[in-house]
Amino acid sequence: MNIVKGLFLGSAAALLAVSGAQAADLPLKAKAVEYVKVCSIYGAGFYYIPGTDTCIKLGGYLRADATLYGSTAYNAPAWNGAAGQMNRNANNFIFRSRQDLNIDTRTATEYGVVRTFFDATFNWTSGDGVAGGALGVYYAFVQFAGFTFGKAVSQFDTPWTGYPGNNTSFLIGGYDDVTGINQVSYTAEFGNGVSASISLEDPSSYLQSGLYNTSTGANFLAYGTNSYAGVDVPDIVGKVRVDQAWGLFQVSAAAHQVRASYYNTALETSGHPSDTWGYAVQGAISLKNLPTGPGDSINFTATYSNGATRYVLGGVSPNSFAIYGNNSVPGTYQSVAFGVAADGVFAGTSNLNGTGIEKTTAWGVRGAFNHNWNPYWSTSLFGSYTKLDYNGTATGLICSGLGANVAGFTCNPDFAISQIGTVTRWTPVKGLTLSGEVMYTYLDQASSGVLPLTASATKPAAFYEFKDQGVWSGNLRVQRNF
């Protein structure tokens, strides 16, 4: 019996020793997984980055566009180039596919929220000159304690930028920097939706129109050599805004330096005109809670500039417009409407015969009425009017440089552009919108009569009748937001 008992005790001890050895080999208990948590304080779609107190939101859209009878993608009118010449080199159908991705981060600190925002686009365009892909950086900025550093919507602009109700990127008549502009700005919030901003903004990419020397290379598409110098002082921008439940009201202003290079752009000893300053002012209003239906709105801006035409023409429109059409005067080849945008003009080849800068003035109005028929269908009616004027001295410099002071022809570089259009959108499911847009653009140029013009692209050297012209363009779009 003692032998059996000893065997049982020995076996139990052996089992305990083996179990202890195996237990020593087992891994320690795993640390709890940090699951992604919803961050609701900044709105829907934000989550905490695991292990941090920073919230992040990812978003964007995928868009497919087709422009019909325009000059470039996104429903640009046929107002220049091969499209404006109505020749066989023009593409009547232009396609673009775009993927947009944005990253929004926010962190609460003792000084307030620190925010970063990045928005990039990947594009493929065909039928717009040469087919190819492109990367665009729309926004990349940091916001902290009221300051904004980086590429963001200009403080001069409105929340709807160049889109009061349209799809087209070419509804002019007001400011437009939907792709952002480099800046250092400060915004003060006074409560009840009232704020004020001041900003220093880079004009080099979007805010310099033409600055032409009419003594060199003058023609009806350029009025001379574009002689803008490098940026010496950034544009100085200020804004006051009231944004409440009823809508928005805003007044903004900008100071813009007009600075020429040299009378002879290849020779610095030729001298240059003295620098001068231009400016722009804008008033904007948005009305909501309209009696026409829930979600309806009216967005409207009025803008005036002196020596700062891009604040009226927007950042993406061309400097020169040329639309050809049928003639009505015997002996002429065709009719044509010309318009050239410039912040100013001057003349001369040196300090000995050079003039100062003669600035232009421009003004424009732009707006839209946006109506929701039901939760799935909506329509916008939009339009604009833009007028650019050269003063008497500038007109004399241009017309003399063109050699246009001939009998039977009245030379006047002033012009106006009117636009009207409509777009209807269908949203069958949340985040998916299909839309169709049509727009009419009319170029009203002030010159009249008949003039012999030199050959340009496919157009021959011939007599042309100067006559106002109008063109239609359209856009089809499918967009998925996420």
Q: What is the pLDDT of residues 33-57, one digit of tens each?
A: 567 899 999 999 999 999 999 999 9
- Whether 123 shows a pLDDT value over 60: the answer reads yes
Asked which of 11-15, 55-59, 335-339 is least confident by mean pLDDT, the reply is: 11-15
Which pLDDT value is given to residue 127?
74
Asked whether the predicted pLDDT for residue 161 surpasses 50, the reply is yes
The reported pLDDT for the residue numbered 284 is 98
Region 291-307: what's the mean pLDDT? 97
pLDDT band per the 50, 70, 90 thresholds, residue 18: very low
Average pLDDT over residues 249-266: 97
The pLDDT assigned to 403 comes to 83
Give the integer Cα–Cα distance in Å for 371 and 381.
Answer: 9
In this predicted structure, what is the pLDDT of residue 468?
98
Residues 6+ apart with CB under 8 A from 372: 293, 294, 295, 296, 378
4 lies in some domain: no
The three-class DSSP label of residue 313 is: helix
Is residue 18 helix, strand or coil? helix
What is the Cβ-side half-sphere exposure of residue 110, based on CA atoms within 13 angstroms? Answer: 0
Query: How many domains does one find in the chain?
Result: 1
Confidence of residue 29 (pLDDT cuts 50, 70, 90): low
Strands 47-48 vs 462-466: parallel, antiparallel or unpaired: unpaired
> Is residue 324 helix, strand or coil?
strand
Is residue 29 one of the residues assigned to a domain? no
Instruction: Give the residue from 46, 186, 59 showing the smallest Cα distance to 106.
Output: 46
Residue 12 lies in a domain: no
Nearest alpha-carbon partner for 341 in 321, 367, 315: 321
Two structure tokens written together for 467: 């006559």
Task: Count CA atoms within 13 Å of residue 479 on its CB side.
Answer: 18
pTM, full prediction? 0.90
Q: State mean pLDDT over 282-309.
A: 97
Examine residue 183 and state whether it is found in any structural domain, yes or no: yes
Q: Is residue 51 part of a domain?
A: no
Q: Domain of 382? A: 62-481
Nearest to 256 by CA among 271, 243, 275: 275
Let me know if residue 34 belongs to a domain. Answer: no
d(CA 400, CA 393): 11
- Closest listed residue to residue 430, CA positions, set 374, 395, 480: 480
**What is the pLDDT at residue 44?**
93
**Average pLDDT, stretch 392-403?**
92
**Which of the two residues, 447 and 403, has the higher pLDDT score?**
447
Specify the CATH number for the domain of residue 172. Answer: 2.40.160.10
Q: Per the domain annotation, does 312 fall within a domain? A: yes
The H-assigned helical ranges of 36-157 are: 81-85
Mean pLDDT computed over every residue of the chain: 92
Instruction: Give pLDDT tens digits for 424-453.
Output: 999 999 999 999 999 999 999 999 999 999
Q: Which of 107, 104, 130 is nearest to 118 (CA)?
A: 104
pLDDT at res. 129: 60
pLDDT of residue 310: 97
22, pLDDT greater than 80: no
User: What are the backbone dihedrals phi and psi of residue 295, each rounded to the nearest 5 degrees, phi first?
Assistant: 85, -5
pLDDT at position 415 over 50 = yes
pLDDT at 405: 79
pLDDT of residue 7: 36
Residue listed under structure tokens 């007044």: 251
Is the model's pLDDT at 4 over the cut of 60?
no
Mean pLDDT value of segment 337-344: 96
Distance CA 381, CA 51 (A): 49
Tokens of 284: 């904007």
At residue 380, does pLDDT exceed 80? yes
How far apart CA 348 and CA 178 sit, in angstroms, is: 37
Does the structure show a pLDDT above 90 at 219? no
* pLDDT classification of 19: cutoffs 50, 70, 90: very low
* 462: number of Cβ within 10 Å: 14
Q: Is 55 helix (H, G, I), strand (E, B) or coil?
A: strand
DSSP strands (E only) in 180-331 = 181-191, 194-201, 211-213, 225-226, 235-244, 247-258, 276-287, 297-306, 320-325
Torsion of the alpha carbons at 49, 50, 53 and 59, rounded to the nearest 10: 10
Residue 5, pLDDT score: 40
- Residue 80 zone, left/alpha/beta (φ > 0; ψ -120 to 50; rest): beta
36 in any annotated domain = no
pLDDT at 132: 79
Cα dihedral 357, 153, 81, 450, rounded to 10, equals -40
